[in-house]
Structure formats: C-alpha cells, structure tokens
Amino acid sequence: MNLPDDFVTKYQHLLGTEAPAFLASLTTGTTTAGYRVNPQRQLSAKLTAAPRVPYAPWGYYGTVKGRSLAHQSGAVYSQEPSAMFVGATAAPQPGERVLDLCAAPGGKTTHLASYLQGSGLLVTNEINRKRVRVLAENVERFGTANALILNDSPDTLSPIFPDYFDKVLVDAPCSGEGMFRKDPAAMDYWSLAYVEECAARQREILTEAVKMVKPGGQLIYSTCTFAPEEDEQMMAWVLKTFPEFSLVPVEKSGGVVDARPEWADGNPDLKRAARLFPHLLKGEGHFVAKLQRATTAEAKRVHGQAQLGQALTGAQRKLWQDFAQQVLGTVPAGDLVTIKDQLFLTPAQLPALTGAHVFRPGLHLGTFKKNRFEPAYALALASDPQQVAQTLTIDSEQWQQWVHGDALTLTTAPAKGWYLLTCDQQPVGFGKVVQKTVKNFFPKGLRFTVYPEDLT
C-alpha cells in the first residue's frame, strides 16, 4: 500500500522516532476483525469463546459472516475493535437520554442500545438519506425497542432538543486516516486540504451538538483519523469556545494511550482524551474524548409534545391487543401510534419535533390489513423468545429456506396462526402457520441465499 507523500511527511514530523513503527503498521500490518454480541440474546458458546476485546463489554476479536444466523438474527454486530472503544467510553446508564448525532450505519448506536437495555431514550440520527436506511435496518436487526430514528442536520435538531440529553455522541465525519489500512479507498480523496475541510465541518457539528447536552451531561467526540486538526486541536477549540465544557479522563487500557497536548495548544487537559494507534493495539486508528458540561446553567425548556402519528381506532386497538395477547403472551406497555396502516410503539414524552424528518418513530409493530394484523420483522427481532407465547423452532436448513423467502413445510400441523420462528434460540421473524405450511414473511428487501461456505 502506498501512503500519500504528504501524509508520510506529516506523521514523520509529528511522531519522530515512533513514525517508522506507525507507518509500517499501516503499510504491512494486518487489520483485526471484531464483533459485539447482543446482551439481549441467548448466546451460543461458539460466539463467546473468541478472545475478548479488553476495553469493550460484549466485544470479541474474530469474524462473523454476514450471511449467518448470528448476523441475521441480530445476535451480533460486526465492528472493528477500535470502534468499540467509542461506545465503551460513552457507556450510558439504563434510563438515560442519549443522542447519537452521526449514527449510520449504526455500530456505535447498537452499542449504546446494549448499555441502555431497552430503557431510557436513544435518538439516533443520520443526515444522509441513503445511509439512514441502513441505520434503521441495523437498529431493527439488533432488536432495539427504544429508538427514535431521525434523518436531519444537527442545526435542525438543536432547537428541538435544547439542554436535553444526558449523553450526546458525535462520531464525526472525518478524513478517515485511521481506516487507510482497512479501506485503502479512503486515501483517494485524502489531502492536507481535505483534513481542513473536515475540521471545518466538525466545528459546525459540534456547535450544534453542545446545545443539546443537558447541564451536567456529557458529550463524547470521536473520529477515525490521526489528524490533530480534527482531534486534539478540535478539543482545544471546544474548550476555548464553550467554557462550560471540560475534558474528563477517558479510562485507558489494552494499548489505548493519552492524546497529545503538544499537537494542539499544549493544554495538559488534552491528555485526558484517548488515541488508538494501530502500531500499539489490535485495531485501527481512532480518537475519543469525553467532555462534561458544568451543572451551573439552568436547562432550557423543550417545547410541546411530539405528535408521531395518529391515535388508534378502537378496532385497531382490539386487533393489536388480540394479537399481542395470543402470540406474544402479553401486551407491551407504551405509547402506540399509527402512520397510515403501520403501527409503532413510540418513546414517551418527546418534545415537539417541529421541522424534523422522522425516519422511524419507534419500534415497528406491524401493519393493519383489512380486519387483521400482520406483525413486523422489527417486532420479531425485538422479542425475547423465552417470553413469547407462540414460538416455533426451526432448524438450520429451514432457516436457510426462510431467509431465502421460501415457505416452510412442517411434519405436524400446529394450531393455525402467527408464530415467532426461532433457530438456535434466536428470533428470525414471524411466520404464519396454515396446516403444515409456514408462510414466509421475511422482508423481501432483506432476503438472501446461504452458500455452504457461509455455514462454516
């Protein structure tokens, strides 16, 4: 791999005697894959036998194939090990209000969801229209029930959520130098000028992000670049521009090191942030900082209350309750709304979302058809098979037919109706049983063929 000349010169100057090891790790080193397991799931011994990522709860080194049961059912999320340090630094407590401002494809968001354990609120936002779809797919696949998914720019959100969140994560769009080894295409658009462009955009994003942190709350800032302009210098700028914020020490282990004050204005507090270098640990390049807002200010009030959809008709409520009682065994608590014929369970007590683009108002429960209710795939993946009344266990061969979109044939005929299909204790979707056939409702856009090599 040929690194850009300007990049090599810059880091030779910055790193001095450390530069050869650093540059060699990028040109001749190998990337280490990782995955996080989903704490909401029963996990097979195979998934948890891999070596642990030292700083990341639920994190393991190793590979899980995309066309595997573990991936499809949301038992795992493939994530580069250094990226796991970001969620581990944010580590929200159950019940907190959390904003992930730059969230697609959803690696950090699903990690934050694991910490929240289905409680509190996760507002997960992605500015890009195409990428927000992928974010929604991953949030649903991971069985996240308490997320509001938005598709907005930071300046649309800051007036809606003033002083609102316990934790705000800005996993910023950056020059991506830390990904050169994993994704050499990131070098194609890199230049010294591009670093400056990214820094300007980060200042804009942070200017809005700070407004949404409640007094006493925290802002977590991360990039996957080595560029001091986007890392230490960005934090030095925040400290000077927003004096209510101070850096709190990021706990470091497993080869994670202090950030470099000498690469910014020399403020020793900058050491409190963290750098992940590929020549010092098993992972790619990252920078992570944790900023605390002082408690002195009084929180601004949010306006109004969100109208995320329509109220249910009596007939719709009965259809849903009958389905939930019979198939789930219980009616989940929470606020229900419909958008056209779609039913959602929404987070409670949100402010008015004036001007925002709501991509998912909450957990998709299903669709009202003429006089019947059809449960959603998202509900299946958010369900705990051990709590669900009507489940049907399928084997690996049937799972392959299922994700391919085929109907399944059973040897005996259970009672007619909806069942949560499970394979190896993982929820894989709802199927409708009619005599000895299970009709396939696996979403058309997600169907895939499993090849023999995917099963090893």
Binding-site annotation, residues: 102-108, 126, 171
Smallest gap from Cβ 358 to ligand SAM, in A, equals: 17
Q: Which of 39, 101, 42, 32 lies closest to 63, judged by CA?
A: 32
The answer to whether the CB of 218 falls within 8 A of the CB of 248 is yes
In the complex, least distance from residue 204 CB atom to ligand SAM, rounded to whole angstroms: 6
**Catalytic residue status for 174:** no
**CA gap 387, 259 in Å, rounded:** 46
Please identify, using beta-carbon distances, which residue of 173 and 405 lies nearer to ligand SAM: 173
Give the interface with ligand SAM as residue ranges (CB under 6 A).
Answer: 102-108, 126-128, 131, 153-154, 171, 173, 201, 205
Q: Which is nearer to ligand SAM, 197 or 397 (CB)?
A: 197
Nearest distance in Å: CB 101, ligand SAM: 6
CA distances from 15 to 116, 187, 225 (A): 39, 20, 15
Q: What is the b/e burial string over 373-392, where b = at least 16 CB atoms within 10 angstroms of the residue's CB?
A: bbbbbbbbbbbebeebebbb
Structural tokens at position 245: 């914020």
Report whether 90 contacts 114 (CB < 8 A).
Answer: no
DSSP code, position 32: -
Shortest separation between residue 134's beta carbon and ligand SAM, angstroms: 9
Report the DSSP pairing between strands 97-100 and 121-125: parallel
Q: The tokens of 439 are what? A: 């009709």
Question: Between 29 and 105, whose beta carbon lies closer to ligand SAM?
Answer: 105
Of 312, 336, 323, 435, nearest in space to 383 by CA: 323
Q: Which residue has the tokens 């809606």?
A: 160
Residue 157 tokens read as: 């959100």
Binding site as annotated, residues for S-adenosyl-L-methionine: 102-108, 126, 171
Q: Which of 174, 198, 224, 423 is catalytic?
A: 224
Q: How far is the CB of 407 from ligand SAM (least distance, A)?
A: 35
- Under 8 Å between Cβ of 167 and 99: yes
Instruction: Specify the 3-state DSSP secondary structure of 192.
Output: helix
Structure tokens at 210: 């700070």
Pick between residue 201 and residue 300 the one whose CB is nearest to ligand SAM: 201
Triad 5, 261, 98: Cα angle to 5°: 95
Q: Which lies closer to ligand SAM via its Cβ, residue 107 or residue 429?
A: 107
CB atoms within 10 A of CB 120: 20
Residue 126 or 232 with smaller CB distance to ligand SAM: 126
Q: Give least dist CB 153 to ligand SAM, A.
A: 6
Residues carrying an active site annotation? 224
